[in-house]
Structure 1
Amino acid sequence: MNVVDRVKQVIMEPGKAWPSIEGENAGFKDVLFGYVLVLAGISAFGQFLAAWVWGIDSFGGALLGFVRDFILLVAGTFVLAWLAKALAPIFGGRGSFDSAYRLVVYASTAVWLAALVSVVPVLGFLVALGAMCWTIYTLYLGAPVLMMIASKSKTVGYTAALVVSGIVVGLIMAAIFGVSDVGRDDVDVHEDGDHAKVDINLPGMNISVDTGKMEAAQEALEKAEEEGVQAKAMSTEALQPFVPESVADWTRKSFKSTHGNVGMAFSSVEARYTQDGDKRLELKVMDIGAAPVLKMAAAAWSSVTLHQEEGDEVTNIYQADGYAIKEQYRKSGQSAEMAMLLPNGVMVELSGTRVGIEELKGVAEAIDIKGLAGLSRP
């Protein structure tokens, strides 16, 4: 199976991908040269773009970062595989280094690809968070198949051991959040009915992942794939009324609409508003529900809660009224951002300069969110 087909299978149908992978006679060299080098290059390039475009580093510095990240990603797969193989017998499993290597490599697919969109602020965060959660879920599904762990409880324990050891979550944190020190007391993977839940507690950050919600989303995606359903994005005309000329005493100064199908269907409308001279507000309404990869990220987002404080900046991710919500703001009130993912795949983004989070929430309440949530895709 070529790289593109394997990526699609692992991302869209992880439950079916693992038996297929287990049946292949591929050694670690085949996976390294045919898959790892390609995806590690893609991941490192995405991080290079983010560092250069956003001025985090100079072109030369970002290029050196690309080389460093590429080497670390490739080398890291061997360390992760060795630990995965060593831990398996403790939980009644067994497997060769080749099996362990395939497990950690293919389970990390979503994280590697997420780096490509890290250059896009809110969407990049959504995809990165979704990739982190999907990697944990994919690992949980693959452990019984490749490492021959028989019982669900031991699978949960094995997954917990990998995560606690920093094998998966440490790599994800280093790539996405800049955190690499994950200890045994920081991560808890446990059974919750028929599914597993993951709780990650780091200084200033708490994350919870519900694999049950992710499994339901995966099944819905697989059904659509089997039925050959090709979703279409909503028209910009349908979205435009939700970006009015004025909202909550803010006056619209510019407007833009985008609709396309370059690899994936999407549509968006956005506007800029002003108030009291130096206050600025941006409102963007996007239909991301027609793109499978974004559906995956959205499903992961809706299964996660997060609280993080770093200096003056606060980030919250939670669910309310059936919506997945992300807030990021400064306690000083100098800036605030808010994103809401609706059940129909529409995302609303709000960002303000010299605007506090409570004022931004007031603007959100003035938007017809229920009307947006009621829109149907063609």
Structure 2
Amino acid sequence: MNLIQRAQDILLKPKDTWPAIAAEPATVSSIYQQWLLIVAAIPPVAAFIGLSIIGVGGFGFGFRVPLFAGIGHMVLSYALSLGMVYVLALIVDALAPSFGGTKNPIAALKLVAYGSTAGFVGGVFSLLPMLSVLGLLASLYSIYLIYLGLPVLMRNPPEKSVAYTAVVVVIGFVAMLVISALTATALPGRHMGFGGWGAQPDVALKVPGGEVRIDGSKMEEMARRMEEAGKRMEQAQKRGDSDAAGKALGEMMGAVGGTGGQPIPATELKALLPETLGGLARESFEAQNNAAMGLASSSARGRYAGGDRRVELSITDMGSLAGLAGVAGWANMTVDRETDGQVEKVYKQGTRTVREQYRKDGSHGEVTVILPNGVIVEARGNGVDPASLKKFVDGLDLARLETLQRPAKS
């Protein structure tokens, strides 16, 4: 099997490629050796290079994950990803009869292994941590790949593929949270990450120093929204209306992120950045509107300096994926972690999620606030105490940011 050609085919011609994959003889060993062991290495290797070799930051300050910690994180995330593919395949296989499909463990493993291609390949964006969000957007295409592959591999009625996909996506998202929580042990002080329907229980994941609690009712709501969008996509495909089908696909992927829409224009976000910040003069600023795979985001960033103090203040809106930002829309995160050199706290402040991380020697600190509408505000600085960083964030008039209206979808 030509690895590059197979990746191109599943990404660009999935409808033609899934039948070929279904017909191929395969074993668990062959799927792992010929495919998974290679493509699953892309995200952890790229993340290691991006965080430990290239580093994060600029304009006078930066951060690199220590080499041994980066290697530990890379190895652990790689191993967990390989394991999670197998576990998710077992779940896909077990669910097949509930959606009119046929149990087939090898077919289920093929579905998850090849359906995850977009997410694995998108991991290359982690080479530059500032572009890692594009990897998240790319991974959402895997939802569509799995949706197309289910009736071919698991032989369920096509009309049940939407509900089947929704359940698999919800379980896969929880699995992603588990991987993030577990790999946090190898990368101390960094981000943790993001039949019929019945009431879903809450899920609590223990992480070092705290927990992540997921509201099960929100998971159910997300799945229902995906199902509704998927039905519209099927109807559009039957009519041969490619534009409507593409729009419905965007709504289906956007359902993973919760309520949103087009992002707030970057010019509006830039207007909120002050000329001075606690006596620091603004040296530069930038505003960007980004789009990838039909999903858009916007951001504005200002850099301030004075003496030995430097601060970068940013505002980011993920648009239709706003609810997915940091899982803020439907997760309560609590972390209280302290080591010899640094402190990390994640807590709820009303409806907002706040993360503070700083070095005890005062050399570097970060404060991130995720608003209930999914807008993210972050202050990162050198030589500035955490209390000042928090004031800088609060000074942006967060209440106003929470009420800004996103443009209606065209």
Interval containing the TM-score (normalised by the shorter chain):
0.5 to 0.7
Task: Determine the C-alpha separation between the residues in 2 that align with 1:6 and 1:210.
Answer: 36
Aligned counterparts, 1:1-378, within 5 A? 3-4=10-11, 25=22, 29=26, 32=31, 36=36, 39-50=39-50, 51-54=52-55, 72=79, 76=83, 80=87, 95-98=103-106, 101=109, 105=113, 112=120, 115-118=123-126, 124=132, 171-173=179-181, 175=183, 177-178=185-186, 194-217=199-222, 219=224, 222=229, 225-226=247-248, 231-247=261-277, 249-263=278-292, 264-275=295-306, 277-289=307-319, 294-295=321-322, 297-298=324-325, 300-304=327-331, 305-311=333-339, 312-378=341-407
* Gap change, CA 1:365 and 1:175, over 3 Å in 2: closer
The answer to whether the 8 Å contact 1:43/1:116 transfers is: yes
Match of 2:164 in 1: none
Q: What amino acid maps onto 2:345 in structure 1?
A: N
Task: Determine the C-alpha separation between the residues in 2 that align with 1:363 and 1:333.
Answer: 16
The answer to whether the 8 Å contact 1:302/1:324 transfers is: no
Listed as ranges, the gaps of 5+ residues in structure 1 are 8-20, 89-93, 149-158, 180-192
CA shift for structure 1 position 307? 0.6
CA shift for structure 1 position 330? 2.9
* Gap change, CA 1:239 and 1:171, over 3 Å in 2: closer
Q: What amino acid maps onto 1:256 in structure 2?
A: F
* Gap change, CA 1:269 and 1:169, over 3 Å in 2: closer
Q: What amino acid maps onto 1:209 in structure 2?
A: I
The answer to whether the 8 Å contact 1:252/1:271 transfers is: no
CA shift for structure 1 position 283? 0.7
CA shift for structure 1 position 127? 8.1
Task: Determine the C-alpha separation between the residues in 1 that align with 2:285 and 2:206.
Answer: 40
The answer to whether the 8 Å contact 2:125/2:135 transfers is: yes
CA shift for structure 1 position 254? 1.6
* Gap change, CA 1:38 and 1:122, over 3 Å in 2: same
CA shift for structure 1 position 257? 2.0
CA shift for structure 1 position 259? 2.5
CA shift for structure 1 position 168? 7.4
The answer to whether the 8 Å contact 2:353/2:370 transfers is: yes
* Gap change, CA 1:172 and 1:246, over 3 Å in 2: closer
Q: What amino acid maps onto 1:271 in structure 2?
A: G
CA shift for structure 1 position 244? 1.0
- Over the aligned positions, Cα root-mean-square deviation in angstroms equals 5.4
Listed as ranges, the gaps of 5+ residues in structure 2 are 1-7, 56-63, 96-101, 157-167, 188-197, 233-245, 255-260
Q: What amino acid maps onto 2:109 in structure 1?
A: Y
CA shift for structure 1 position 341? 2.5
Task: Determine the C-alpha separation between the residues in 1 that align with 2:114 and 2:399.
Answer: 39
Task: Determine the C-alpha separation between the residues in 1 that align with 2:356 and 2:13.
Answer: 35
Task: Determine the C-alpha separation between the residues in 2 that align with 1:35 and 1:353.
Answer: 43
Aligned residues: 318
* Gap change, CA 1:343 and 1:116, over 3 Å in 2: farther
* Gap change, CA 1:84 and 1:214, over 3 Å in 2: closer
Task: Determine the C-alpha separation between the residues in 1 that align with 2:346 and 2:133.
Answer: 11
CA shift for structure 1 position 332? 4.4
Q: What amino acid maps onto 2:348 in structure 1?
A: Q
Task: Determine the C-alpha separation between the residues in 1 that align with 2:249 and 2:356.
Answer: 36
The answer to whether the 8 Å contact 1:340/1:349 transfers is: yes
Task: Determine the C-alpha separation between the residues in 1 that align with 2:206 and 2:225.
Answer: 30
* Gap change, CA 1:127 and 1:375, over 3 Å in 2: farther
* Gap change, CA 1:99 and 1:120, over 3 Å in 2: same
Task: Determine the C-alpha separation between the residues in 1 that align with 2:329 and 2:282.
Answer: 33
SS of match in other structure, 2:211: strand
CA shift for structure 1 position 331? 4.1
Match of 1:155 in 2: none
Task: Determine the C-alpha separation between the residues in 2 that align with 1:6 and 1:214.
Answer: 30
CA shift for structure 1 position 350? 0.7
The answer to whether the 8 Å contact 2:263/2:318 transfers is: yes
Task: Determine the C-alpha separation between the residues in 2 that align with 1:203 and 1:70.
Answer: 16
Task: Determine the C-alpha separation between the residues in 1 that align with 2:77 and 2:218.
Answer: 33
The answer to whether the 8 Å contact 2:185/2:208 transfers is: no
Q: What amino acid maps onto 1:53 in structure 2?
A: I
* Gap change, CA 1:299 and 1:334, over 3 Å in 2: closer
Task: Determine the C-alpha separation between the residues in 1 that align with 2:388 and 2:262.
Answer: 34
Task: Deviation per CA, 1:271-322: give whole Å up to 9, x if none.
Answer: 12235x2222211122222xx5x44632724333131414133333343343
* Gap change, CA 1:372 and 1:126, over 3 Å in 2: farther
* Gap change, CA 1:197 and 1:313, over 3 Å in 2: farther
